[in-house]
Amino acid sequence: MTPNHYRQLVFALLVGLFGFAATGSDAADPLPSWNDTATKAAIIDFVGTVTRKGTADYVPPAERIATFDNDGTLWSEQPMYFQLAFALDRVKTMAPEHPEWKNQQPFKGVLESDTKAVLAGGKKSLLEIVAATHSGMTSAEFERIVTDWISTAKHPKTGRLYKDMVYQPMLELLAYLRANGFKTFIVSGGGIEFMRPWTEATYGIPPEQVVGSSIKTQFELRDGKPVIVRLPEIDFIDDKEGKPVGIHSHIGRRPIFAAGNSDGDWQMLQYTTIGHSPSFGLIVHHTDDRREWAYDRDSHIGQLDKALDDAPRQGWTVVDMKQDWKRIYPGE
């Protein structure tokens, strides 16, 4: 058996065992869960262009920064953002310590499973819930709470663990980019300390490469031990105009690749691509109401309107989930 035949055999075994292709120069298909459409071709062409030495569009590895939104881009987000589901579960867990919540909105609505009452208070009510459930403990304590929840909590519709509702095609894209010298970051409106405990195991993205919204913290010595304490006050919202600011503050380099799915990612896509070449903007458009959900302009969760209109003008690639993806979740 020649060395080349041996490599092909090993590759075939990997595909059979894990259900997806390995990345690298010998991989027959770096994105096997993507259909062979113009979308897939555009991604592969871009990666080939910026990694080809000796050309005008070659980008050194240190500058190959790729940023990804999380909710609706790397995992599902319907019928509510998963971090909100976490916060609502926390209200119910903490309720015995707060008997006053039985008569106090929005907590009363949460305890009575009255979603309409919870949402009636708008952003103010949601911030109250987040402040009550995400603060008053150390960062280490919060990390344990998140780790326990993400390991056990299940989605009400699919019955899957929330952490298993990640998109297999996007997992392959992350791996493909990293195999080609890219450094991948999450840039999300979700809480930075909600995401950091599990993103490395789920996406291969370590905590130092997660940019997100945050609440204020402070340093304390408790029983002689240094801790970071979470305060009930918002520090930074990493959404819309905040995303380029977060990228500048946390990463310090302008991305050449950005992926999102909603108008909350519009400014990140603009910052990545406008007047910046070579660059690539990707929008995940939820069009599959059978395997996932179909929504865009009128959705209260993950609304995609202005960015969708801007995509043709800016040359962004729009993923049609129904047409471009062979499967949605791992194991399908």
Lowest pLDDT segment from 16-20, 62-66, 142-146:
16-20
* pLDDT-derived band at 1, boundaries 50, 70, 90: very low
Residue partners of 204: CB distance under 8 A and separation at least 6: 174, 175, 178, 184
Kindly tell me if the per-residue pLDDT of 5 is higher than 50: no
Q: State the average pLDDT over residues 196-223.
A: 97
Kindly tell me if the per-residue pLDDT of 164 is higher than 60: yes
Dist. CA 167–CA 303, nearest whole Å? 19
Lowest pLDDT segment from 5-14, 147-156, 212-221:
5-14
Please give the model's pTM, rounded to 2 decimal places.
0.90
Handedness of CA 150, 244, 170, 319 (dihedral sign): positive
Percent of the chain whose pLDDT exceeds 90: 86
Question: What is the overall mean pLDDT for the chain?
Answer: 92
Dist. CA 189–CA 234, nearest whole Å? 12
Q: What confidence tens digit (pLDDT) does each residue in 294-310 have?
A: 999 999 999 999 999 99
Instruction: Give the per-residue pLDDT at 120.
Output: 83
Q: What's the token pair of residue 40?
A: 């897939």
Instruction: Give the per-residue pLDDT at 126.
Output: 86
Fold of 3-80+159-324: Rossmann fold (3.40.50)
Lowest pLDDT segment from 13-17, 98-102, 319-323:
13-17
Kindly tell me if the per-residue pLDDT of 153 is higher than 70: yes
Q: What CA–CA distances, in Å, run from 51 to 48, 64, 143, 204, 257?
A: 5, 9, 37, 21, 13
Dist. CA 163–CA 260, nearest whole Å? 19
One-letter amino acid for residue 7 of the chain: R
Domains of the chain, residue spans: 3-80+159-324, 82-152
Name the CA radius of gyration of the chain, rounded: 21
Instruction: Give the per-residue pLDDT at 28.
Output: 85
* pLDDT-derived band at 212, boundaries 50, 70, 90: very high
One-letter amino acid for residue 90 of the chain: R
Q: What confidence tens digit (pLDDT) does each residue in 225-251 have?
A: 999 999 999 999 999 999 999 999 999
Kindly tell me if the per-residue pLDDT of 16 is higher than 80: no
Q: State the average pLDDT over residues 146-165.
A: 97
One-letter amino acid for residue 308 of the chain: L
Q: State the average pLDDT over residues 33-61.
A: 98
Instruction: Give the per-residue pLDDT at 24.
Output: 42
Beta bridge partners of 227: 220
